[in-house]
Amino acid sequence: MSKPVAIVTGAGTGIGQAAAMMFADRGYDVIGVDLSDEALHWASARGIATVVGDVSEEPTSERMVAAALDTFGRLDTVVLNAGIARRSEWEADDVMETFDQIMAVNVRGVVAGIRHAAPAMAARGGGSIVATASTSGLRGDPQRFAYNASKAAVINICRAAALDWGHAGVRVNAMGPGPTMTPILQGGRVTPEHLDELRRNIPLQRLGRPEEQAEVIYFLGSPASSFVTGAVFMCDGGITANAGIFAPTSIPLSEVHH
């Protein structure tokens, strides 16, 4: 009997890398997708196949689905995790260019992924699609309106797609990370003082780990969640449980998700 097959986009680092490794370690054949061979240099040592491409370009989604079917003969799970987070200041000269870039990757990439994965899954009787949204899809961050809009779109695209594909056994869910200890933080872009401030704004008083986010993704992508579709699972240490708890304006949550 062949192994189940998972595709993970944005697999080069952070949550995407943790998810790709988790699926591989738990018996899946995995295809990791990212922008470059360099980003995926670690994959072959873990037995993970790769596709290099930009998810904002629809042929990338077509190629990754084709790779799963051609290489492994099936497709069970797709994790649409690739995303970018940039400042979008209303009066900046390049604000419209920034808006278009964020929407192209974060929204168009998810739409293209569903568009190509869902029919392939439906042909085999079903499957699971998981898109990475964000706590920022449920609220606002200062000077990040484009990112906020993109992640809100991801949430409602998943809800709508769940209605469109449920009859074919294809489940579509979103998961929303809160602040997570990813390379953005480990690379020093946020000072220790700001990290302490951020932790104090999280009810659990700590940042998440990529592996914790991957556990939620794995649950949604696996048969363990077989009656779950159209849902939004937040993994945020409790931030969205209280509308009065917000990250400091100097550290928008969009900076610390991927």
pLDDT in tens, 171-183: 999 999 998 988 7
Active site residue 147: yes
Does the pTM surpass 0.85? The reply is yes
Cβ pair 51, 76 in contact under 8 A: no
Give me the domains of the chain, ranges plus CATH numbers: 5-255 (3.40.50.720)
pLDDT score for 118:
98
Q: Look at residue 68 in the predicted model and tell me its pLDDT.
A: 98
**pLDDT value at position 248?**
47
Q: What is the structure's pLDDT at 256? A: 55
> Structure tokens of 162?
């769940």
The answer to whether the CB of 81 falls within 8 A of the CB of 11 is: yes
CA 93 to chain centre: 29
Nearest to 172 by CA among 149, 154, 199: 154
* Residue tagged active-site, from 23, 28, 72, 147: 147
Q: Are 89 and 143 within 8 A, CB to CB?
A: yes
pLDDT digits (tens, 9 = 90+) for 10-60: 999 999 999 999 999 999 999 999 999 999 999 999 999 999 999 999 999
What is the pLDDT, as a whole number, of residue 245? Answer: 47
Q: Are the CB atoms for 135 and 198 separated by under 8 Å?
A: no
CA–CA dist 214, 243 (Å, integer): 25
User: Which tokens hold the place of 139?
Assistant: 């609220």
- Ranges of residues in the chain whose predicted pLDDT is under 70: 184-190, 243-258
